[in-house]
Structure 1
Amino acid sequence: MFVRIVKMSFDPSKIEEFLENFNEKKESIRNFDGCRFLELYRDKTNPNIFFTYSYWEAEADLENYRQSDLFKDIWAKTKPLFNGKPEAWSVDKVASLE
């Protein structure tokens, strides 16, 4: 399993549109085959910046999601809302304390 972190910066006037779309699609993303966890974060100092944080069983699962109609629909609605280039990282969890 690995973690996917995506940083997105939005035009301030487009944030509500992004949040509405995310809220409509979040269950579908979380229930996509191979996705084990999904969270959305908002930066405390710059409210235009959001992060998604998700756990995936395998890189093939993430790639299947990225090639899916679900992702293509989400991306088509999200991409025009950005005010900066999104950044993404796939990372392996080294330690976790609860």
Structure 2
Amino acid sequence: MYVIVVGLQIKPEHRQDFIEAAFQNSHDSRLNEPGTRRFELIKDESDPNRFYLSEAYEDKAAFEAHANGSYFQTFVAASSKCYAQKPVWLVKGTMMAPSDEA
């Protein structure tokens, strides 16, 4: 499973716009993109304008299909005004299982 985590600092005046755009992207992606396994929006407990997107895909190809797809492009357009700073990639990689140990 391919996993990504992105840290996002949101402008307070666009917080609700960002949440709605993220939820719509999550809904559309999980419903219509077969390789999307998990899509979670996490609010930081110490900063109400700090969020994390944690997503899991069947494999890297499924993530790339999502990143190049219409749902993600709609999210980018809707959320671009919301960022107080550039999003930060915290994780990009393959989830390991005990059988993957080498």
TM-score (structure 2 length as normaliser): 0.83
Deviations 1:59-79 (A, max 9, x none): 111111111111111101111
Deviations 1:20-65 (A, max 9, x none): 2223332112232211111110001111110111111111111111
What is the match of residue 51 of structure 1? 52
What is the match of residue 91 of structure 1? 93
TM-score (structure 1 length as normaliser): 0.86
Q: Which blocks of at least 5 consecutive residues in structure 2 are unaligned?
A: none
Q: Which has the larger radius of gyration?
A: 2
Give the 3-state SS of the residue equivalent to 1:70 in structure 2. helix
Distance 2:11 2:78 in 1: 14
**Number of residue pairs aligned between Structure 1 and Structure 2:** 96
Root mean square deviation of aligned Cα? 1.7
